[in-house]
Each structure stands twice: as structure tokens, then as C-alpha cells.
A and B are shown apart, each in its own frame.
Chain A
Amino acid sequence: MRRWMLLSATALVLVFAAWPSTTGADDPPSVHEIAGELMCQCGCGMTVATCQESMPCTTSDAMVQDIQRQIGEGKSKQEILGRFASIYGEQVLALPRKSGFSLAAWVTPFLALSAGAVLISALVWFWAKRGAAKSEVAAAEASSEEFRSYEERVDQDLALLE
């Protein structure tokens, strides 16, 4: 069973290592893909894609038309997103930029999680070490206690013999 599992694990690692990319870099972006990465500016707090699907909204309609026009002009996804950011500011992007101050949005949760993991591991290691030391002392105390009780019993038995 273990050998079989080891083989499966190895196969899995090889599969994941050779995992193919799902989208090509040269694929033209779709309207929905870009609308899903832009926040509607009507104040609904939803992406352009969601806002357009759920309610009549002239703002999202205009933004979708603008996306369609720019795709028609052959612009890339990043160029289109950049164009919207230059008009509305960074608040139009559903994904904060991975540079400057906005990088903190991405990094902080994982930094906090990593710091927590390190702290917990260190604490558990420390407790486990202290616990092991305590149990050694307890074992030593128990054995000397046990030895003393045996000595007492021997003394009592010898006294009875006398």
C-alpha cells in the first residue's frame, strides 16, 4: 500500500510540475474578463460585469461600451485597465496594483499569516521541549521515590525476620 501511495505521490508531483498554462499570453481579452476587473463607478460597490448583469446602470453600460471599443482597437488587457485608471483613478481597479503602497493590500494578509505560523511553531516547540524536560524530571523523581519505597519494604521485611 505504502509503495503504491509513494508512486501516486511521485506521479502527482510530476503532473503538477508539468502543468500546462490554461491561457495564452496572446489571446485577445474578453469584455467580461475586463469588466470583472473594473469597479462600477455608480456607487453600487460591484464590478462592472456584476452591476451590468444585475441592474440597469448607465455608468456600467458606458464602461462596457468603452471596453468593447478598446478591444476593437486591439489594445491589451493591461492597456485597457490602465486607460480606465487614468480616467477614474485607482479606485476603478477591482484588483489593487502590485506595486507601491497598494502592494501592502496583497502582502499584508500573507505576512500576518506567516508571522502567526512562525510564532505558533516556536511556541509549540518551546512548550514541547519544556514539557519533555518536565517529564524527565518527573520520571527521575518517580524512580527515586520508587527506590525509596522498595528500601523501606526491605527494611521492614528484614526487621520481621529479626
Chain B
Amino acid sequence: MADLGYAAIITAFIISVYCAVAAFVGARARINELWLSARNAVFVTFGLTSLASAALVYSFFTRDFSIAYVAEYSSSDLPASYTLAGWWAGQAGSMLFMAWILSLLSVIVVVQGQRRNREMIPFVAAVLMGILAYFLGVIAFASNPLEKMPLALSEGMGLNPLLRTSDMFSHPTTLLLGFVIFTVPFAFAMAALISGRLDDWWIHSARRWTLIAWIFLSLGNLFGMVWAYTVLGWGGYWGWDPVENAAFMPWLAATAFLHSVMIQERRGMLKLWNMVLVIITYTLCLFGTLLTRSGMLSSVHAFAMGAVGPLLLALTGLVLVGSLVLLWMRLPRLRSEHQLDSLVSREASFLANNLVLLGAAFAVFWGTVFPILSDAVRGVKVGVGPPFYEQTMAPMFLALIVLMGICPLIGWRKASPENLARNFVYPLAVAMPLALTLYLVGVRPLYAVLAFSALGFVAGAITLEFWRGVRARHRGHGDSYPVALPRLVWHNRRRYGGHIVHIGVILLAMGIAASQMFSTSAEATVAPGESIAVRDYVVTFRELKESAGSNSLRVTAMLDVSRGGNDAGTLEASKRFEGNDQQPVTDVGLRSRPQEDLYVVLSGWTDDGKAILKVAVNPLVMWIWIGGGVMVVGTLIALWPDGRRGRRLPVLERVPVGELEVGRA
């Protein structure tokens, strides 16, 4: 089966190279048959990568320990559910997983291309298959997950205990999906540059695909935060680890693109800038893939250093330089149809938002690569840890929150003083008394007051937007207020979906700000019957319990909790030792409520039965997860196809494959 799978990888590599060349030549030279052949090659490549993936999964389930990758990431006693996760648990398998997703996306793009952008799809397919060919080449010649060992092992090493959690199905998969899906908007942008058709055709598809990638990347980051918070026991949800940074940077750049693309759609401006943002986003995705796989930086996520690193570095360089050269060649044709009329306009405020988002992405990038830079320049490796990011990012995030409130309040083109006064008065009427109240009730430090009053300002601005829309529907359509709200959202999905995303960001930012600034913790070694008090919680250690399974041991601290003198139930905080190397994994004891989390980590124990416990009270953490969920719901609403627009457009007849025409640039 492994031989069959490897043959499929090699064949898929050859066919994808052919497909990229045939699609490009077919499109340029208007050779329809060549494009049709390339189109079929897309389907064949998907079939072959599926076959290779199936071979790997089959090898995992049949415990074929003659394959090095299977032996490294599974064992006979590994439950079936985690056996599947072995596919993407290691470097070689995750590369195949990414290649399989990319081949699937190529099929979707080509099938969709029968109805939309028919003339341009060959160029898009050429770019997608070119990138897929590179990945398949790396898999085939440098990182083969189906590589056999000279001698089969009798037993595998097993999956890392840290990865034996349900999060293994949510966090890496969504993150990898996000990274790979960003290839599609990049391919659309490159198709526009290669073909020379630089009108808005590519923007609509690129925006939609960027939103899909953005959802997955957001989910990937959120699932990672939940994992870190509940299982890894990092004591927090975000550690500014280089690989976390790698997933965060493209998210910031894509967020900038999703905002600036509105200006191109509405006013035909920022064509060049949008191209640059798509290129930056995709380059950062490749950089993230490189960071995880090159071993160039210390990280709990990183795979071992190997031949893949230089190859991915070459791909990142190739993509960046190639796309910038193309951009340079098409520069004269990327002029805006209109220009900005005023500094006080929504367009200008969106540009400011773009600036801060990219500034934040750059700050994260700079902090991530600075140790390497310092090593190269001075020969001294400098540490750049979480406090650096917290100090540099805090003012930028604060500015972003304020801009999130300001942007919708300013009119397009040029805002009049009356417009500004009318729109700003209510949000400010929320923010300023809130700031004063927070100060008077004793909230410190200054950043906390600024952050929460800024969030109040944004909440005021969004409420005003909803109120005006609902009132207009009530007056114009006679809808009652409760009916007007869902109808308003449904009939303006893109606009109000965006506002709902912003509500999610407010909730998320509120949770982050509160838990970062007002978290309280205590650590102590306690004997049975002794307690640790944090705020109005008292956690009493009852006993340590040991439970042994097959090849695993769990030590659990049984805890009684009281709050304000009242019984608040029990908690269990444990450490389990699993796998051949008995690596410890933390399971946090968590009592989660909307106002705060009681968070208990069993750090260790002594021979005489005492437990070393860390007890923390983290305010408003639940709102981070709720905010993340609201963000995803808002994005789905904004993404939902507009039926009315579909009805307005002329219905395209389904063209038989043989009659597909390919356009010339």
C-alpha cells in the first residue's frame, strides 16, 4: 500500500507540473484542448493525492510499522480516533494533508469556474497547480510520509501524549485549512496580474475565499487558545510562541485586506494596495509554514529541522519576488479610478485601520525574527518573549479598537462637521462616563480604563448603527422592532455581518483585557485539609488519587471549592503520564462562569502526599470564547450568498466542457 501511495505522490507531482504548464500555455495561446486537458489533470491530481492520503491512513490503521512516519506517530495501543490524527501530527504527514486540501480546493475552483470567470480560471488553476506541484515535489523528494525503513519495527513510538486530545482534530486542521485556503485568493490575484485583466473580477472571488480562510484561521487560533488554556496548562491562552505568531501574522494582514477591499469594490480605489495585501498575506502563510518546519526558532510547536526548511524558504522567496515582479510590470494599469477626497472620510479611516493592522503584523514579525537578526548581526542571540509583545502590541490593539468604532461613523468621500457631531455624540456619551465611572470605582491601571472605555465607544457606535437601521425599517416597511432587527441583518448580510464580527471582537477584547490585567493567582504546597485563598475563593485540597490505565498513569488532586463562604462544588486538577516515554500532560481544574474562571493547575506533589497547586482567578475569560463564536457567526452571515444578487444577474448557461472557451490576456 505504501508503494502504491508513493507512486501516487510521484505521479501527482508530474501531472501537477504538466497541469500548471498546460493551463498557462492553453490560456495564453488560446488552445482550448490544452486547457481541457489541464482541467482534467486537476481532477486526476486530486484523485492521486487522495489515494496517497488513503494509503497513509490505511498504513496507520493497519499499524504498518515498516513505514517510518507511522512508527513515529502511532503505536498498537493508540485509540482509533487518535490514529487518524497521526496523518497531520508530524511534518511529512501534515505536508501531505496540506497538499490534499490544496488539490481539493483546485477542483472546487475549477468546477466553480464553469459558471464564473470562465476565461480567467485557467490562469488561476495554473498558479494553484504550480504551488501544489512544489509541495508535492517537497513531499516526494524531501519529506515522504510513506518512506519505508530497512527493518520494520515491532512497535511504534506512539503519538505524543500532548496531542492525545480532541483538540488535535480542531486546532491543527483548521489552522492548516486556513493557511492553505489563502492560496486561492493569492492565485486569483496572480491570475489577474498574469493575464493583465486588472478590473474587479478577481476581487469578488478573492474576498469570498479570503473570508473562508479567515474563518478557519480565526477558528484555528481560538481552538489553539482553548487547548493552551485547558490542557497544556500554560497558565494562559496565548504565549506569543513563534508558531502562534506565525498563525497570527497572516490573520492580521488578511483582516487588513478584508477592509481595504471594500474601498476597491465601492470606489475603484486601492487596486495596487489590495494586490500588495494579498501578496503579504500569502507570503506570511508560507513564512508560518516555514517557521513550523524549519526548526529555525525554539517553539513547543516546531518540528525537527530537516531538508524541508531550505525548500520552503526557497518557495517563500520565489512567491514573494515573483509576485512583486509581476506587480511591478502591471503597475501602470493598477491606477485607482478615483482618489481620496479628504483625510476625514471613511476611506482614510480604513487606510488608518490598514496601517495599524499591518503595523501590528510587522511588530509580531519583527519580534519573531529579531533573535535571528541579532545573531546574524552581532553574533548574540537575544530573547524576545511575551512581555515584549504585550508592551508593543497593547497600544496598537487599543488604536485598532478605537478605529473599529470610528470607521463606521465617518461618511464616505468627505465627512461634514455635522455628520461627525451627529455620529460621534452617542458613542462618546457611552465612553466618557464609562471611563470616569471605572476610575471612580477604583479600576487601575490607566490602560484598563482606556481599553474598557474604548470598547464602550465601539459598542456605542455599533448600537447606533443597528438602531438607525432598525428604526429605518420600522418607519419604511412598518416592521415591528423585534421583527425589524433580524430582517435588517438578513437583507444587509454583508454590512451587518461585519458589525456582528465587530461585536465578537469587543467581547473577545473585553475578555483578554480583563484576564490580562486583573488576573490573581497564588501558588502553594498544601497538605490534605489545607486551603489556598484567592479573592473570595477558597480551594481546599482533599487528597491525591492515582489511577493507572494501560501504559498510562493519572494523578489527580481532589479539591473542594467555596466562594464567599458558600459551597461552590468540587474540582479535579490532574497530571497524566502517557506513552512510552511517560511524558506528563496537565489537565486543568476549571470552574468557568461568565464573570470569572477559577483555574487550578496541579504543578506537582511531594512524597508525603502534599500537592503543589497554582490557583488563579481569571476574570471574563468565558467572553473570549463567546466573542470568538460571535465573530465566526458574523463572518458566516457576511459570507452567506445573496440570493437577490443572484436573481439580478443573468443566468449563465452551463457550457458543455468541450465548448469552454479560453480567453487571451
Contact = CB atoms under 8 A, between A and B. Distances in A.
A45 B374 CA distance: 17
Contacts of A19: 446
Interface in B372-417: 374, 377-378, 380-388, 391-392, 396
23 contacts: A8-B432, A15-B436, A15-B439, A16-B446, A22-B445, A37-B385, A45-B241, A45-B300, A52-B603, A54-B232, A90-B374, A90-B380, A94-B384, A101-B374, A105-B366, A105-B374, A105-B382, A117-B352, A120-B348, A120-B352, A123-B340, A124-B342, A131-B340
B367 interface: yes
Contact of A12 (B342, B392, B432): B432
A108 interface: yes
A89 B379 CA distance: 11
A108 B365 CA distance: 11
Contact of A93 (B299, B382, B584, B601): B382
Contacts of A101: 374, 377-378
Contacts of A47: 385-387
B268 interface: no
A130 B366 contact: no
A46 B239 contact: yes
Contacts of B386: 36, 47, 50, 94
Nearest to B352: A120
Interface in A68-124: 89-97, 101-102, 104-106, 108-110, 112-113, 116-117, 120-121, 123-124
Contact of A105 (B388, B436, B614): B388
Interface in B432-448: 432-433, 435-436, 439, 444-446
A95 B389 CA distance: 9
Contacts of B359: 109, 112-113, 116
B446 A54 contact: no
A91 B381 CA distance: 5
A104 to B, nearest CB: 8
Contacts of A95: 383, 385, 387-388, 391
B351 interface: yes
B120 to A, nearest CB: 30
Contacts of A104: 370
Contacts of B371: 91
A110 to B, nearest CB: 8
Nearest to B336: A127
Interface centre among B348, B436, B521 (most CB of A within 10 A): B348
B7 interface: no
Given A37-B387, A53-B234, A120-B351, A45 B297 contact: yes
A44 B162 CA distance: 14
Given A1-B429, A94-B384, 17 more contacts: A8-B433, A45-B297, A46-B239, A50-B239, A54-B234, A54-B601, A55-B584, A90-B382, A91-B383, A93-B383, A94-B385, A94-B387, A96-B382, A105-B384, A108-B366, A127-B340, A128-B342
Nearest to B453: A12
A19 B449 CA distance: 11
A41 to B, nearest CB: 9
A50 B236 contact: yes
Contact of A53 (B433, B446, B584, B603): B603
Given A16-B446, A93-B382, A54 B396 contact: no
A5 to B, nearest CB: 6
Contacts of A32: 521
Nearest to A19: B446
A91 B388 contact: no
A109 B239 contact: no
A24 interface: no
Contacts of B436: 8, 11-12, 15
Nearest to B367: A105
A64 to B, nearest CB: 10
Nearest to B604: A56
B235 interface: yes
A39 interface: yes
A5 B339 contact: no
B586 A54 contact: yes
Contacts of B355: 113, 116-117, 120
A117 B359 CA distance: 10
A39 B383 contact: yes
A54 B236 CA distance: 10
A121 to B, nearest CB: 7
A50 B366 contact: no
Nearest to B241: A45
B117 interface: no
Interface string A1-30: 110010011011001100110100000000
Interface centre among A47, A110, A130 (most CB of B within 10 A): A47
Contacts of B239: 46, 50
